[in-house]
Chain A
């Protein structure tokens, strides 16, 4: 089965840049999608097809994907960005696969 590995937590100071990684075997050959989930709320699509921003998502959010790692980058981090972030791909042997999630803490 295909596995996506995310760090459990990432911390960043306001105004700095946060990078959240999503590791998978040759993930660069797949399309990666990212979701943000704030406490008590449903997830929201942030990035799709590796680097396309969903509607109403600030330009501060960007994505990249190459080799065995995809990355969600949040520039000029704000307190409101504090949330859990999940990556997701589709794999022919495992169907829909989500990463374990990364809790972003804004210090």
Chain B
């Protein structure tokens, strides 16, 4: 059974940093691209970033480019999202999610087949 468990969320001041982690199990982690999607309170889904199975290819939404960094440690079956220069508009539940393919960071296979339960990030003074 695929399981994705996010951690690292919390309250941070504007301009601060936070690192999210996602522990994966139930599948061969290194052979699937992974992604982060967020959802502001009462709002819809917004794609944030994606990384290929090897970690060699990364993609970012324009809204986070230059501030967020996605990475993965395949030896630990863990996905990360380093978030710097946080803004109030980054407040959201952040979901870790699995794609159906090793290189599904772009193209027709760029979708999510399993989601984690999410971790809340609140940016406020």
Q: Which residues of B contact A101 (CB under 8 A)?
A: 44-45
- Find B61's partner among A43, A49, A54, A95 (CB 8 Å cutoff): A95
- Find out whether the CB atom of B44 lies under 8 angstroms from the CB atom of A98: yes
Interface centre among B45, B47, B50, B114 (most CB of A within 10 A): B45
- Find out whether the CB atom of A90 lies under 8 angstroms from the CB atom of B110: yes
Interface flags, B76-117, vs A, CB<8A=1, else 0: 000000000000000000010000100000111111111111
Interface size class of B (residues with CB under 8 A): 20 to 34
Q: Quick one: closest B residue to A90, CB to CB?
A: B110
Q: Which residues of B contact A96 (CB under 8 A)?
A: 35, 37, 47, 50, 61, 110
Q: Which residues of A contact B46 (CB under 8 A)?
A: 98
- Find out whether the CB atom of B47 lies under 8 angstroms from the CB atom of A97: yes
Q: Which residues of B contact A86 (CB under 8 A)?
A: 44-45
A21 within 8 A of B: no
Q: Which residues of B contact A97 (CB under 8 A)?
A: 47
Q: Quick one: closest B residue to A99, CB to CB?
A: B44
- Find out whether the CB atom of B117 lies under 8 angstroms from the CB atom of A42: yes
Interface centre among B59, B106, B110, B114 (most CB of A within 10 A): B110
9-residue interface stretch from A10-18, A29-37, A66-74, A75-83: A29-37
Q: Which residues of B contact A106 (CB under 8 A)?
A: none
11 A-B contacts (beta carbon < 8 Å): A31-B109, A31-B111, A45-B114, A48-B111, A84-B44, A86-B45, A88-B112, A90-B110, A95-B59, A96-B37, A96-B110
**Using a CB–CB distance below 8 Å, which chain A residues touch chain B?**
30-31, 33, 35, 37, 42-45, 48-49, 54, 84, 86, 88, 90, 92, 95-101
Can you name 19 extra interface pairs (CB under 8 A) apart from A95-B110, A101-B44? A33-B111, A33-B112, A42-B95, A42-B115, A43-B112, A45-B111, A45-B114, A54-B113, A84-B44, A88-B112, A90-B107, A92-B106, A96-B47, A96-B61, A98-B44, A98-B46, A99-B44, A100-B44, A101-B45
The 5 closest A-B pairs by CB, nearest first: A96-B47, A90-B110, A33-B111, A31-B108, A42-B115
